[in-house]
Structure 1
Amino acid sequence: MASPSSVLLLLFTLLTIFSTPSSAKPYPSASASPEARPWAKPWPHPNPLAAAAAPSQSNTFQYDVIIYGGTPAAISAAVQVKRMGKTVAIVNPDEHLGGLTSSGLGWTDSKNGNAIGGIAREFYSAVYKHYLSDSAWIQMPRQEYVDMKVSAQPGPAVDGDKEIQWTFEPKVAESIFKSWINDNNIPVYNEHLDRSSGSVSKSGTTIKGFKTLSGKTFNGNMFIDAGYEGDLMDAAGISFSVGRDSASVYGESAGGQRVAVNDGYEGVDPYKTKGNSKSGLLLGIQDTLSSPLPQGFTGSADDLRIQSFNYRLCLTHDPGNKIVVTKPAGYHDSNYELLLRLIEAGHNASFTADPMPNRKTDSNSEGKVSFDLVGGNFNEATHETYPTASYDERKAMIDAHKKYQQGILWTLQNHPRIPAEQRKKNAEWGYAKDEFTSNNNWPYSIYVRESRRMNGMHVLTQQDVQNRAGYIGDAVAGLGSYNLDSHVVRRVVMGDQIYDEGWFYIREGSTPFPIPYQAILPQADEATNLLNPVTLSATHVGFSAVRMEPTFMVLGQSAGTAAVLAIQQGCTVQDVDRKKLNSRLKSDKQKVSY
């Protein structure tokens, strides 16, 4: 007769096999050839046992914790839930995992690397270990990069003493994330949330589950919205803000609409026909304002417009890995007239080329006119804003960004109105042949710098960021370590002069600031089993210092921890024992004080 322990083992094995979703199959390895995935096709399941599971007609899946989004916050949350012994699934609306971290943003946005702990630090440690291998260096030897002594934002790009590396190629980031998914046997479904009314089922303030566009239902005990847009939060009936709060609401000196009147585009005519205001504004300029500013404009609220987006390009000058930039289809000179006039007026226009390993870059917008498509996330005709736009409307905005950015890169490299010396310098760079190979070497994801912001239990403000001494009254979910930083929201014309509206960059030094746990919690009368580590509760100004990939990864781990503790304690996320939360975060090497 079999022993009780062997019977239990057999039962456990059978349950594991037959409870696995029917769409399951092995997760593709980093070396596997890329496969184009339809809009709502299930992401391959990492569990090798599941490939042999009996077919099931069920489209309903149950886990302890359901995470929506494919960002670094989603991944760190899922890993933490698994480490704490609960079941978890990621429902990812994107074709790839890792958000911007695996889509070009290799120049880590942090002003103090010591503020990054836990799973986030494990990521940067994994980056360091990856680049210790000679096989990781295809276009250059490791020592050449080390000798460059690249000074990244959190510290030395390659820090041998701390065994940390802050700069990395996109494909390396994605490979690390994939290995985490595989090692922890975390199921990932490539599905878009059904955002129509009633798609999220609730009993009172408890979320029971949500539906996706393909008809699947995901039920759970706890939910984490880890997407850049906050779609699950919205569909679950949780209140949020979009745009910019009035400066007077929270007493923020950088709040609301504001024009940098000492920061104009001197010598640049704003009109399609120079000198003729009736001919219309050039592309990239959104509004004409009274001069001087209309009373009440500075600091006034704007619940529609948000800071500009772009793609973080991975470029290279290595001849063997470089794809020459070509003129995109539908290119029109008039779309870049503002750029051309700016250069002809003596202003600089280019893009960043922060050095990544293997002679690549993380290239961001730089200067007055560059990769940011200012105003591109807002439809002036319909007043539709990206955060609340439909999937189709978002796609149209994203496509416009791609075409614009491809065009401006070609213009900077080839247009005869660009000085020859500048053209030659810009033309050194091309797309990296070995990056984003399933997407014609273009980044998978656009940089959504800001979208919805939850109206949660604590609204993180400018004062919270600037008061870096500490936070009293709640557990700390993690530390932020960036400046107050908003890209331009729109360009305006006053008195025939062009100005940036909505831009600010306030240096705060390298001392981290605490982010209270309540900032990732909704109000208890709206939802009691959802956590929100990405589109968290903050003002536009406060969010501008939080909206960084390592910070999201930190908050994702804390959200995963709290979700499991709430299950274990049989309570709401609002009532999680703060001492136990703080103790667990510390034991997992999360940074909660500095």
Structure 2
Amino acid sequence: MTGPCGSYDLVVYRATPAGIIAAITASRLKLDCLLVEPTGRIGGMMTSGLNAADILNDSLINGVALEFFRNIRDEYGMSVLPARIESRIALKVFRRMLAESRVQLALNNDIGAVTRQGATITSCMLGTEWVAGRWWMDASYEGDLMHKAGVPFRVGREAADEFGESFAGRQAFRPMLPWASRMVIDPRQDGRLLAHVQPPSRTALGAGDDDVQSYCIRPTLTALPANRVTIEPPRDFDFSQFELFRRLGRSMRIGRVAAKAIPLLGTTWKSAYFNLAELPGGKVDMNSGPAAPLNNPTLTRGWLDATMAQRAEKANEFARYTQALLWFIQTDVSVPQGVRDFFGAYGLPADEYPETGHLPPDVYVREGRRLNGARVFRQQDVETGGADPGDAIAEAKYHLDCKPVNWRSNHTGTNVVREGMFFTQDAHRYSLPAWILLPDPAACRNFFSLCGVSATHVAFGSIRMEPTWMELGSAAAIIAHLADQRGCLPHDIPGADVRRLRDDRFYQWPAPKFLTAKLREKVTGYYRRIAKV
């Protein structure tokens, strides 16, 4: 397929959860929508290993995003909205929702050149054809369409004095193991820096830079023998790359694995090497531990400026690193025996990611380009409740959270330190305004950035959750629809009007679970008619 041609009301770039929800919402509002995905897979990180969805308050989810989570709930036969979802189930529901919509999906197609007339994006090259669009949405994690369309953006960390944020800019050096403040790890071997360790930084505390928080591949694991694929080391992998982690392991006397049962979620197992969140289907979502981290700042560098082909090579590096790290934790003598005994029971799930050897196919791009709009959402906005009620289009709740930005030698060359990581004890609840999605109208009048919003690096560390992106995607489609109806700029649409239309048109009235899908739709239609929606 060389790519669809023609003209659309809306072109959405990347079939991430935000992009899918935006496209479906727009389609239901009678906008002709094209959803462009350069790969053959949809669902972004929710179908690629990010199985713990970080829903801290399910009452914040609305509209078509709520419909998605209710569909997942029904797949599992649960009575509550699930926050831990298998990738294969998320993929199944996304596919079904798209199939039931009027969205045209262009898989294995990428946007090339983008044309503009003044502050309006007009068309793009897709394959060998030109595609025109009235509205454009960037749902990529990297902000690639924003870059190609010449929309102003930010990358990296603001200086502390730009917005007065306490977590902004270069942070103080911290020990690699957060509980071992006096630990000393020699950063060199045979006169050379260890693999993954960067040279000392002379950047002042609080200074800005173009660094982003670290990426990873987020493995799904299982201990069920019938579904377990044994973890093997990647071919020709140089395990001397893990000397830093061996030194960290040797500094620990015991390998404790703590278990905590969380109501309505499941059990979480934590150690210095992993954080495992229990999923349905006998699986776990593996998050990073500090002693042998999945999150790798060194492999992260260069991703945003890389071509798609170069990113594919870097994704292969991440995959090899991740597979080798899993093998390392299971087998290396530097890892405490208790950790090896526990983790050795796990393997890769045979029913997930068969096309990529049962490791998730996508790199978890936690932070990319961020829109540089007329206003910028800051740490203080997260901490004080965010937008005014009249401006709010969505609600969010999460901690201020940033993974390591650097692993470095300290200034004296005597220790390995990590830098840039923060996580606040309290989760903040706050409202998000429409302007977080929109460029300054002088820069562009028909563009929305869904996953690279106009926020500082610090504030972005709280906003960057998939349910929040889904909410913003749905809101963006509603804003475009209202702007069409009123003949105005999207910047002129009040947030209260977005919420009102969302709640009137996209609230999913409950129908009894025992009904067939067809009958459930009839019941929902009845509820809508009597409500005059």
Equivalent in 46, 52, 72 of residue 101 of structure 1: 46
For 1:372, the equivalent position in structure 2 comes to: 295
For 1:381, the equivalent position in structure 2 comes to: none
**How high is the sequence identity, in percent, across the aligned residues?**
29
Alignment of 1:69-218 (within 5 A): 69-132=14-77, 160=79, 163-195=80-112, 199-212=113-126, 214-218=127-131
Q: Which has the larger radius of gyration?
A: 1
Deviations 1:53-100 (A, max 9, x none): xxxxxx522211110011100111011111111211100123211101
For 1:298, the equivalent position in structure 2 comes to: 205
CA drift of 1:476 comes to 1.4
CA drift of 1:424 comes to 2.2
Equivalent in 272, 281, 304 of residue 193 of structure 2: 281
| Corresponding letter in the other structure for 2:169 | G
Number of matched pairs: 485
CA drift of 1:426 comes to 1.4
For 2:465, the equivalent position in structure 1 comes to: 548
Equivalent in 354, 360, 363 of residue 437 of structure 1: 354
For 2:217, the equivalent position in structure 1 comes to: 311
C-alpha distance in structure 1 between counterparts of 2:328 and 2:390, whole Å: 51
| Corresponding letter in the other structure for 1:478 | A
1:367 partner SS: coil
Unaligned 5+ runs, structure 2: 256-271, 508-533
Answer yes or no: is the 8 Å Cα contact 2:390–2:494 preserved in 1. no
Which segment drifts farther, 440-449 or 579-588?
A: 579-588
Answer yes or no: is the 8 Å Cα contact 1:209–1:217 preserved in 2. yes
For 1:144, the equivalent position in structure 2 comes to: none
Alignment of 1:107-506 (within 5 A): 107-132=52-77, 160=79, 163-195=80-112, 199-212=113-126, 214-261=127-174, 263=178, 264=181, 266-273=183-190, 279-289=191-201, 297-303=204-210, 305-346=211-252, 349-378=272-301, 385-468=302-385, 470-472=386-388, 475-494=391-410, 495=412, 496-506=414-424
Kindly report the root-mean-square deviation, in angstroms, between the aligned alpha carbons of the 2 structures.
Answer: 2.0
C-alpha distance in structure 1 between counterparts of 2:174 and 2:143, whole Å: 33
For 1:136, the equivalent position in structure 2 comes to: none
For 2:523, the equivalent position in structure 1 comes to: none
C-alpha distance in structure 2 between counterparts of 1:524 and 1:265, whole Å: 52
Deviations 1:159-216 (A, max 9, x none): x2xx312211100000000000101132111245445xxx11111111111113x223
Deviations 1:485-505 (A, max 9, x none): 000001122231221111111
Answer yes or no: is the 8 Å Cα contact 1:193–1:210 preserved in 2. no
| Compared CA separation, residues 474 and 230, structure 1 to 2 (3 A) | farther
C-alpha distance in structure 1 between counterparts of 2:131 and 2:124, whole Å: 6
Answer yes or no: is the 8 Å Cα contact 1:221–1:567 preserved in 2. no
C-alpha distance in structure 1 between counterparts of 2:477 and 2:84, whole Å: 26
| Compared CA separation, residues 105 and 409, structure 1 to 2 (3 A) | same
C-alpha distance in structure 2 between counterparts of 1:396 and 1:353, whole Å: 28
| Corresponding letter in the other structure for 2:137 | I
CA drift of 1:124 comes to 1.6
C-alpha distance in structure 1 between counterparts of 2:125 and 2:52, whole Å: 36
C-alpha distance in structure 1 between counterparts of 2:353 and 2:501, whole Å: 37
CA drift of 1:537 comes to 0.6
Answer yes or no: is the 8 Å Cα contact 1:475–1:581 preserved in 2. no
1:353 partner SS: strand
C-alpha distance in structure 1 between counterparts of 2:472 and 2:24, whole Å: 13
Unaligned 5+ runs, structure 1: 1-22, 24-40, 43-58, 133-157, 274-278, 379-384
Deviations 1:503-544 (A, max 9, x none): 1111333x5211110010011111101111111111100100
Which segment drifts farther, 233-242 or 571-580?
A: 571-580
2:278 partner SS: strand
| Compared CA separation, residues 474 and 554, structure 1 to 2 (3 A) | same
For 1:538, the equivalent position in structure 2 comes to: 455
Which segment drifts farther, 457-466 or 339-348?
A: 339-348
C-alpha distance in structure 1 between counterparts of 2:229 and 2:425, whole Å: 37
Answer yes or no: is the 8 Å Cα contact 1:486–1:505 preserved in 2. yes
CA drift of 1:223 comes to 0.9
CA drift of 1:341 comes to 0.9
C-alpha distance in structure 2 between counterparts of 1:186 and 1:589, whole Å: 17
| Corresponding letter in the other structure for 2:55 | S
C-alpha distance in structure 1 between counterparts of 2:506 and 2:394, whole Å: 11
2:225 partner SS: coil
C-alpha distance in structure 1 between counterparts of 2:323 and 2:182, whole Å: 23
C-alpha distance in structure 1 between counterparts of 2:218 and 2:357, whole Å: 15
| Compared CA separation, residues 474 and 179, structure 1 to 2 (3 A) | same
2:53 partner SS: coil
1:386 partner SS: coil
CA drift of 1:265 comes to 7.3
